[in-house]
Amino acid sequence: MANSRQESGFQIRRIWSDERARSALFQILVVLGLALLVAFFVANTMANLQARGMEPGFGFLQDPAFFEINQNLIEYASTSTFGRALVVGLLNTLLVSAAGIISATVIGFLAGVFRLSNNWLVGRLIGVYVEFTRNVPVLLQIIFWWSILTGLPKVADSLSIGNSLFLNNRGVRMPAPILENGFGWVALAFLLGVFASYLVGRWARRRHMATGQPFPMLWVGLGLVVLPPLLLFVALGQPLDWDIPEKTRFNFRGGFNITPELVALWWALTTYTGAFISEIVRAGILSVSKGQSEAAHALGLRPGLTMRKIIIPQALRVIIPPLTSQYLNLTKNSSLAIAIGYQDLVSIGNTVLNQSGQAIEVVGIWMVVYLSLSLGTSAFMNWYNSHIALVER
Amino acid sequence: MKSVKYFAAAIVAAATIGGASISHAATLDDVRAAGALKCGINTGLPGFAYTDDSGNWTGFDAAFCRAVAAAVFGDGNKVQFVNLTGANRFPALASGEIDLLSRNTTWTFSRDVDLAFTFVGVNYYDGQGFIGRKSLGVKSAKELDGASVCIQTGTTTELNLADFFRVNNIKFEPVPIETNEEARVAYLADRCDVYTTDASGLAATKTTFENADAHMVFPEIISKEPLGPLVRQGDDQWADVARWTLNVLINAEEYGVTQANVAEMAKGTNNPEINRMLGSEGSLGEMLGLQKDWAANVIKAVGNYGEIFDRFLGPNTALALDRGQNALYTKGGLLYAPPMR
C-alpha cells in the first residue's frame, strides 16, 4: 500500500516535470475551460429567456406563418407553417446559389482563358471587367442590377416575343409546360439516352486510350439523348401543352415568372464571383510550365487541343482549392438577397423571427444551414480535387 | 501558467458581462445611470420620425421619446435615438439595446403576450390601407386580384394582407421590402401596383411623391392598427413611467395645459386635477420615482398631445391628417386617459 501511494505521488510530480504530460494536462484544462464557458453561455441565455417569460425551443416551427412568399418552389400558402416557410427560403437560397455557381464557373473559366489571349482588345476588355466587378462591393452591384431591371418597361408596355414570352419590370413571364398523359415515356427515353451515352463515352475513352482512335462522342451522345425522346414525343401525339401567360388588369396570369430580384441577385453574384474565378483560372494556367505547351506545339497539337488536353488538366490541380472557397463565398453572399427583397433563407428567417419572436432559434437555424451547405460544398470539392489529382505511377 | 491566468481572467470577464445582462429589472435606474434614454424609432417616416433642418430626429414618435426623457431627466434632449426597421425593432427591445420602442408599432395579442412586451397605451389609432395610381381605376381593395403589392416585412400589415386576400379569395404577388423608404422606391418604379401599410404611413409617404395627385389612398381600411409605445415585460415601474407620460400628454390636452401656459399653471390653479398632475399638490411624481415637476417638464419639452399632433401630423403639415379617431373622447374621438389621482 505504502508503495503504491508513493508511486502515485511520484506520477503526479512527474506530470509537472515531464514536458509531454504537462502539455497534455494544459490541453485538457483548456478543453474543460471551453466546455465550462459554453455551458455558462447556454445556462445564462436560458435563464435570461426564462426571466422574460420566453419559451426556448423549436415548437414554433409547427405554427402557421400567415404571410405570403412570392417565389415558392414547393407548395406554400399563408396558412402553411413557419417550418415550411423556412424550407421555401432554403430552396430559394439553393436555387440562386446553384445557378450562380454554374454560371460563375462558366464565365470565370472563359474570362480567365481569354484574358491570356494574344488578341490585345479581348485581353484588355476582360481585364476591365475583372478589375471593375472585383473591386466594387457586391451589395452595390446587386442593387445596381436590380435598379436596371426595375427600369424595364412597365407591365402595360411589356416587350414580348411571339406573344407568349413577356419581359417587363416585374420579371420575365414565360409559358409553363403542362405535362399530359404519356409524357413520362418521353422523359424515360431521355434518361435512357443519357445513360446510353455515358456507356458509349466510357467505351470510346477506353478505345481511344488503347488504339489512339478518336470517336465523335459529342455528336453520337447528342443523338442518343435527343433523337429517341423526340421521335417518341411525335409518335405519342405531342403529349405536352403550354400554359401561355395572359395579360390581366394588373399583371400576367399563367405561365411562370422569374422575378427581377432573382435575376439581379443571380447576375450580380455571377459576375462578381466570375471575376475572382477568372483570376484563379489565369493563375492556374500560368502555373503550368511553358515547356508543356511548347512540347504540345512541337507534337503538332492545335492551340485549342493543347489547352483542353495539356494545360487545363494540369492547371485544375492549382485551380480547385481556391475555387472551392469562391463557391462558398457565393453561397454566403446570396444572403445579401435581403437588400432587394429576394426571399431567401435569411429574408424569410427574418420575417419568421420577427413574427414568432424566436430569435435565438432562427439564428441557430441560419448558422446550421449555412454551415452544412459550406461543409457539403467543401466535401464535394475535396473529393473532386483528389479525383483529378496527379496519379503518380 | 500564463495561459491559465489569462483563461481565468476571461472566465471572470465573461461571468461579469453575462451577469450584468441577467437582470432587466430597474430600467429607470439604468437609464439614469446612462444619462440618456435609448429610444427606438423608425428609420424614416415623414411626420413620425424624420430629421429636421439641423439634422435632429423629430416627429410624432420621436416626440414621445423626448417626453419620456423629460419625465426622467427634466430635459427632453437627453435621448439617444436608435433607428430600427420593422424586422429588427423587437430583437433590439428584447435584448436591451433600447429602453423604449416608439416606432408606429401595432399593439397585438401575440406581441404583448408571446413576445413578452408591455404596450403602455395607444397614441395613434390607425388602420391598414392601400395607395395606388389613380390611373389603375381601382375603387376598392377587393378589385386587386392578381396585383403586385409592396409590403414591409415583419409587420402586422404583412399578416393582415395575407388574411385579407385569403378571406376574399383573391390572389396577389407580395413584393417584400425592408423599410418604408425602399417601399417608396419600389412603388414609384412600378415594381408593385399598390403599396400597403398603416393609413397614416401612406399619407406620410404620399407627401414625398413628386406628383402626389396621380396617386390615391383607397378609402378602404382593412384592419385595426392601434399604434403605441412599448417596453420590455417584467419591469412595471418603467412601464408605469412610460404609460403615465402618455397619459399626461392626453390629460394635459383635456385640461388645456399647453407648452405656453404650463409654467404659469404649474404654480397652482383652481383645478386640483391639474395641480396634482403638475406637482403643486400631492406627490404623484415621487410615487413614480420621479421629480415632483416631472409632468410639467414633459409638457414644457414637447407640449400636450394635441400640440404634438398638430405640429407633426395635423392639417397645417404636409401630411394633413384629421384628428378623426385620435380626437379626445370629449370631441368624439377615442383618446381617454385615466385620471391623475
Q: Is residue A120 part of a domain?
A: yes
Are the Cβ atoms of A251 and B148 closer than 8 angstroms? yes
Give the closest of A78, A169, A350 to B153, CB-based: A350
pLDDT, one tens digit per residue, over A308-328 is 888 988 999 899 999 999 999
Distance separating alpha carbons of residues A334 and A94, to the nearest angstrom: 9
Distance separating alpha carbons of residues B330 and A126, to the nearest angstrom: 73
Q: CA angle A149-B199-B158, nearest 5°?
A: 55
Total domains in chain A come to 2
pLDDT, one tens digit per residue, over B150-181 is 998 888 888 999 999 999 998 888 998 888 88
A144 and B CB contact within 8 Å: no
Residues in chain A: 393
| Secondary structure percentages of chain A, helix, strand, coil, to 5 | 70, 5, 20
Q: Is residue A296 part of a domain?
A: yes
Pairing, β B225-227 against β B79-84: unpaired
CA nearest neighbour of A114 among A128, A100, A103? A128
Are the Cβ atoms of A354 and B233 closer than 8 angstroms? no
β-sheet with A165-168: strand ranges across: A159-161, A165-168, A171-174, A256-258
Q: Is residue A357 part of a domain?
A: yes
A309 and B CB contact within 8 Å: no
Distance separating alpha carbons of residues B167 and B182, to the nearest angstrom: 28
Distances in whole angstroms, Cα of residue B2 to Cα of each of A16, A48, A275, B63: 15, 33, 46, 53
- State the pLDDT at residue A366: 95
Q: CA angle B221-B226-B227, nearest 5°?
A: 115
Pairing, β B100-101 against β B37-42: parallel
- State the pLDDT at residue B18: 42
Distances in whole angstroms, Cα of residue B248 to Cα of each of A224, B154, B241, B259: 83, 31, 10, 13
> Please, are residues A151 and B189 in contact by the beta-carbon 8 Å criterion?
yes
* Cβ neighbours, 10 Å, residue B78: 19
> Please, are residues B140 and B218 in contact by the beta-carbon 8 Å criterion?
yes
Distance separating alpha carbons of residues A91 and A74, to the nearest angstrom: 8
Q: Which residues contact A124 (CB under 8 A, 6 or more apart)?
A: none
> Please, are residues B332 and B324 in contact by the beta-carbon 8 Å criterion?
no
Are the Cβ atoms of B15 and A40 closer than 8 angstroms? yes
CATH 3.40.190.10 in chain B is located at 13-125+227-331, 128-223
CATH domain B128-223 topology: D-Maltodextrin-Binding Protein; domain 2 (3.40.190)
- What are B107's three cell numbers? 399593439
A36, A92: one domain: no
CA nearest neighbour of B115 among B96, B134, B91, B136? B91
Are the Cβ atoms of B116 and A26 closer than 8 angstroms? no
Are the Cβ atoms of B145 and A249 closer than 8 angstroms? yes
A301, A355: one domain: yes
A30, A118: one domain: no
- State the pLDDT at residue A9: 55
Q: Which residues pair with A173 in a beta bridge?
A: A166, A257
Query: Is pLDDT at B7 greater than 50 in this prediction?
Result: no
Instruction: Give mean pLDDT, residues B28-57.
Output: 94
Which residues in chain A (179-238) have CB-CB distances under 8 A to chain B?
Answer: none
Q: Return phi, psi of residue B197, to 5°.
A: -165, -170
A58 and B CB contact within 8 Å: no
Distance separating alpha carbons of residues A10 and A6, to the nearest angstrom: 6
State the residue range of the domain holding A349: 82-137+260-388
Distance separating alpha carbons of residues B84 and B155, to the nearest angstrom: 13
- Give the chain A residue nearest B132 (alpha carbons): A250
A27, A93: one domain: no
Distance separating alpha carbons of residues A241 and B251, to the nearest angstrom: 69
Q: Which CATH homologous superfamily contains domain B13-125+227-331?
A: Periplasmic binding protein-like II (3.40.190.10)
A265, A355: one domain: yes
Amino acid at B186: A
Q: Is residue A300 part of a domain?
A: yes
Q: What is the pTM of this model?
A: 0.81
- State the pLDDT at residue A52: 66
A273, A350: one domain: yes
Q: Is residue A175 part of a domain?
A: no
In percent, the amount of chain B with pLDDT more than 90 equals: 65
Distance from B107 to chain A by nearest Cα, in Å? Answer: 13
- State the pLDDT at residue A7: 52
A253 and B CB contact within 8 Å: yes
Q: Which residues contact B72 (CB under 8 A, 6 or more apart)?
A: B28, B31, B32, B37, B78, B241, B290, B294
Tell me which of A11, A36, A51 is where a domain ends: A51
- State the pLDDT at residue A1: 46
Are the Cβ atoms of B22 and A170 closer than 8 angstroms? no
Q: B interface mutation test: which of A354, A356, A358, A362 has the most B CBs within 10 A?
A: A354
Give, as one character, the DSSP assignment of residue B124. Answer: E
Q: Is residue A157 part of a domain?
A: no
Matching residue, cell 435632429? B56
What's the start-to-end Cα distance of chain B, in Å? 65
Could you tell me the sign of the dihedral formed by the alpha carbons of B140, B141, B147, B152, in that order?
A: positive
- What are A138's three cell numbers? 457586391
DSSP per-residue string spanning A194-260? HHHHHHHHHHHHHHHHHH-----HHHHHHHHHHHHHHHHHHHTT--EEEE--EE-SSSEESSEEE-H
- State the pLDDT at residue A240: 81
Distance from A325 to chain B by nearest Cα, in Å? Answer: 30
Instruction: Give mean pLDDT, residues B202-212.
Output: 89
Distance separating alpha carbons of residues A8 and A2, to the nearest angstrom: 10
A112, A34: one domain: no
Are the Cβ atoms of A51 and B234 closer than 8 angstroms? yes
**Burial group, residue B3, by CB count within 10 angstroms (0-12, 13-18, 19+):** exposed
Query: Is pLDDT at B3 greater than 70 in this prediction?
Result: no
pLDDT, one tens digit per residue, over B289-299 is 999 999 999 99
- State the pLDDT at residue A320: 92
A89 and B CB contact within 8 Å: no
Which residues in chain A (28-57) have CB-CB distances under 8 A to chain B?
Answer: 29-30, 33, 36-37, 40-41, 44, 47-48, 51-54
Instruction: Give mean pLDDT, residues B180-191.
Output: 89
Could you tell me the sign of the dihedral formed by the alpha carbons of B48, B49, B53, B54, in that order?
A: positive
Are the Cβ atoms of B146 and A70 closer than 8 angstroms? no
- State the pLDDT at residue B17: 43
A16, A100: one domain: no
DSSP per-residue string spanning B219-257? S---S-EEE--EEETT-HHHHHHHHHHHHHHHHHHHHT-
Give the closest of A36, A53, A70 to B175, CB-based: A70
Packing angle, helices B60-73 and B294-302, rounded to 10: 150
- State the pLDDT at residue A53: 64
Chain A residues with beta carbon closer than 8 angstroms to that of B159: 66-67, 355
A266, A383: one domain: yes
> Please, are residues A255 and A178 in contact by the beta-carbon 8 Å criterion?
no
- State the pLDDT at residue B6: 46
Query: Is pLDDT at B27 greater than 60 in this prediction?
Result: yes
Q: Which residues pair with B133 in a beta bridge?
A: B215
- State the pLDDT at residue A15: 72
Distance from A179 to chain B by nearest Cα, in Å? Answer: 24
Helical spans, DSSP H, in chain B = 2-22, 27-34, 60-73, 89-94, 109-113, 156-167, 180-188, 199-206, 236-255, 262-266, 272-278, 284-288, 294-302, 305-312
Are the Cβ atoms of A26 and B146 closer than 8 angstroms? no
Q: A interface mutation test: which of B167, B191, B232 has the most A CBs within 10 A?
A: B191
- What are A21's three cell numbers? 504530460
Distance separating alpha carbons of residues A149 and B191, to the nearest angstrom: 10
Distance separating alpha carbons of residues B289 and B277, to the nearest angstrom: 14
Are the Cβ atoms of A48 and B22 closer than 8 angstroms? yes
Each of the 393 residues of chain A gets a pLDDT tens digit; together they read 445 455 555 566 777 788 888 888 899 999 999 999 999 998 888 887 777 666 778 888 999 998 989 888 899 988 899 999 999 999 999 999 999 999 999 999 999 999 988 899 999 999 999 999 999 999 999 999 999 999 888 888 888 888 888 898 888 888 888 888 788 888 898 999 999 999 998 898 888 888 888 788 888 888 888 888 888 888 888 878 888 888 888 888 878 889 999 999 999 999 999 999 999 999 999 999 999 989 999 999 998 889 888 898 899 989 999 999 999 999 999 999 988 989 999 999 988 988 888 888 999 999 999 999 999 999 999 999 888 877 666
Give the closest of A41, A52, A248 to B234, CB-based: A52
